[in-house]
């Protein structure tokens, strides 16, 4: 199923689960939506998810590689070769491949900002080549690079600091990036429209406190001797809520955000005093605002002071399509970005989000490791040649196993050619010849039906992507090989039923 999704000319899959329809060619997404029952196939699902979490791209490649490894050694198992010999050969091959990638990978100096940004842009475009938004790869590639560059690189590049919001309508190229935090306008009460919607250098109060009058419990009972005392009880409740609201205003905060509801009384109170408020803010959005502005989320208003308030350069409420967004920019503490995605169909926007996530992950890994290899099946062919040459120096059964590992790598360029509608046999012959002549970065030329130097054609992939894929595919194949018997534990009820039918059995 996933083989045909590989590469720039890979086909998309339409998967229906209940009433929900998903259109995607992302290997991890397709596999996670399939109802896979076989326990061994479940291992391939796990490595695809692992690749998606670790690197973001190459999910289809890792599944194809693992499947090809198992296919190539099937004959050895049937001929009686012990699985431990194969496992030893696979692990040796995987280690050699990782060492070879480290040896030939092209490293770029991070200090040369121009070259390094160009490297990131090329890697992002290569990741987007095989996606639904391939025609807009220049637009989204730059967006992914800008988002990652805006993060604080002194600490780990946390993708949670890159928010992605989806707004239906408009063109895909209407998508834009906000250098700060943006989230959709929350539910509002009467008085909200009277509040100001634009501030410069405001102080921000972040709360996990409910600011509305609660109705009494239906079974509450209060016994009073004098009816006049009832008014004092009501007044006490109002005094408490007004005390909370006045404490917030006195702190100097101009923007109040809370995870819990902010009622109509509080909304009108704040609006009359020129304060913007929003209740029921999503946890992830409030956490990003807290990290970006330096504010501390308060669960009580007893000790509200300047130290716990956040700050930003500018706040405004902005119209995006049919939605209104609260936008915080110029955040001083942690650098953060928000990407607003536009598009026609809901499925298309969802696939755009998945594609952009892959590009962000690839750029992140490239920033961390700053080394790339040629894509388009070039690195796979070079590793295949390297292993084949080494296998001829081995005089044990390992020679066959390492040769099988080498052959498995050829599945990637062959499938790339097949998916593009090329004659895979001719392309593979040309690639073998080129690599034998020492042209290590020759891969499949998708545009002109043939082979080309993918490094010069700017088809680049992070070396971490390939290393993770090889190790994960090898581990999955070894795990399946190490199982010699599958035992399915039947339900206890079935056992009892069988015993009733045949007590002696």
Catalytic residue among 5, 59, 336, 352: 59
Q: Which of 22, 60, 172, 293 is catalytic?
A: 60
Which residue in this structure is represented by tokens 């009580």? 300
3-state SS, residue 376: coil
Q: Which residue among 52, 57, 285, 358 is the active-site one? A: 358
Asked whether the beta carbons of 450 and 430 are under 8 A apart, the reply is yes
Q: Given the residues 22, 26, 186, 454, select the one marked as catalytic.
A: 26
From the list 240, 239, 279, 271, the residue with the least C-alpha distance to 254 is 271
Which three-class secondary structure state does DSSP give residue 295? coil
Neighbours of 114 (CB within 10 A): 7
What residues contact residue 124 under an 8 Å CB cut-off, 6+ apart? 137, 140, 141, 142, 144, 145, 359, 362, 363
Q: Enter the tokens of residue 211.
A: 């600011």
329 is catalytic: no
User: Is 60 an annotated catalytic residue?
Assistant: yes
Whether residue 359 contacts residue 366, with contact meaning beta carbons closer than 8 Å, is answered with no
User: What is the separation of C-alpha 31 from the centre of its chain, rounded to a whole number of angstroms?
Assistant: 15
CA distances, 12 to each of 5, 20, 132, 332 (Å):
6, 16, 8, 42
Q: How many other C-beta atoms lie within 10 A of the C-beta of residue 131?
A: 25
Cβ-Cβ contacts under 8 Å for 220 (sequence gap 6 or more) = none
The secondary structure of 400-467, three-state, reads: HHHHHHHHHHCHHHHHHHHHCCCCHHHHHHHHHHHHHCCCCCEEEECCCCEEEECCCCCCEEEHHHHH
Q: Would you please indicate which residues are annotated as catalytic (active-site) residues?
A: 26, 59-60, 358
């Amino acid at each position: 199923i996933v083989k045909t999704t590989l590469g720039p000319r890979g086909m998309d899959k339409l998967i229906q689960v209940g009433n929900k329809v998903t259109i995607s060619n992302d290997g991890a997404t397709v596999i996670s939506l399939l109802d896979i029952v076989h326990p061994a196939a479940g291992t391939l699902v796990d490595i695809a998810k692992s690749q998606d979490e670790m690197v973001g791209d190459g999910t289809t490649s890792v599944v194809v590689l693992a499947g090809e490894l198992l296919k190539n050694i099937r004959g050895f198992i049937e001929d009686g070769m012990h699985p431990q010999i194969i496992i030893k050969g696979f692990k040796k091959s995987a280690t050699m491949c990782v060492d070879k990638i480290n040896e030939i990978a092209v490293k770029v100096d991070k200090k040369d900002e121009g070259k390094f940004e160009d490297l990131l842009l090329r890697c992002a475009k290569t990741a987007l080549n095989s996606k639904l938004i391939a025609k807009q790869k220049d637009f989204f590639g730059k967006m992914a690079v800008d988002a990652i560059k805006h993060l604080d690189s002194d600490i780990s590049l946390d993708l949670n600091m890159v928010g992605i919001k989806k707004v239906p309508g408009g063109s895909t190229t209407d998508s834009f990036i906000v250098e700060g935090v943006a989230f959709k306008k929350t539910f509002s009460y009467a008085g909200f429209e009277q509040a100001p919607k634009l501030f410069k250098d405001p102080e921000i109060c972040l709360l996990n406190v409910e600011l509305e009058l609660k109705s009494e419990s239906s079974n509450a009972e209060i016994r009073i001797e004098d009816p006049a005392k009832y008014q004092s009880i009501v007044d006490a409740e109002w005094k408490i809520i007004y005390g909370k609201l006045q404490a917030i205003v006195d702190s100097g905060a101009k923007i109040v955000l809370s995870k819990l509801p902010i009622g109509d009384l509080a909304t009108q109170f704040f609006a009359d005093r020129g304060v913007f408020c929003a209740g029921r803010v999503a946890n992830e959005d409030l956490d990003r605002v807290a990290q970006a502005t330096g504010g501390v989320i308060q669960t009580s208003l007893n000790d509200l002071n300047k130290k716990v308030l956040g700050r930003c350069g500018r706040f405004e409420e902005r119209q995006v399509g049919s939605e209104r967004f609260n936008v915080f920019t110029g955040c001083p503490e942690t650098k953060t970005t928000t990407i607003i995605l536009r598009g026609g169909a809901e499925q298309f926007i969802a696939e755009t989000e998945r594609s952009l996530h892959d590009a962000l992950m690839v750029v992140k890994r490239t920033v961390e490791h700053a080394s790339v290899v040629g894509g388009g099946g070039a690195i796979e062919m070079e590793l295949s040649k390297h292993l084949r040459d080494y296998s001829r120096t081995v005089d044990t059964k390992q020679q066959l196993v390492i040769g099988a590992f080498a052959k498995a790598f050829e599945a990637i360029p062959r499938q790339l050619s097949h998916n593009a509608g090329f004659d895979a046999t001719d392309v593979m012959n040309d690639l073998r010849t080129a690599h034998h002549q020492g042209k290590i970065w020759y891969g499949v030329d998708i545009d002109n039906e043939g082979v080309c130097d993918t490094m010069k054609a700017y088809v680049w992939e992070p070396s971490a992507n390939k290393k993770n894929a090889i190790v994960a595919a090898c581990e999955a194949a070894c795990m399946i090989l190490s199982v010699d018997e599958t035992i399915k534990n039947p339900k206890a009820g079935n056992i009892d039923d069988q015993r009733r039918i045949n007590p002696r059995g």
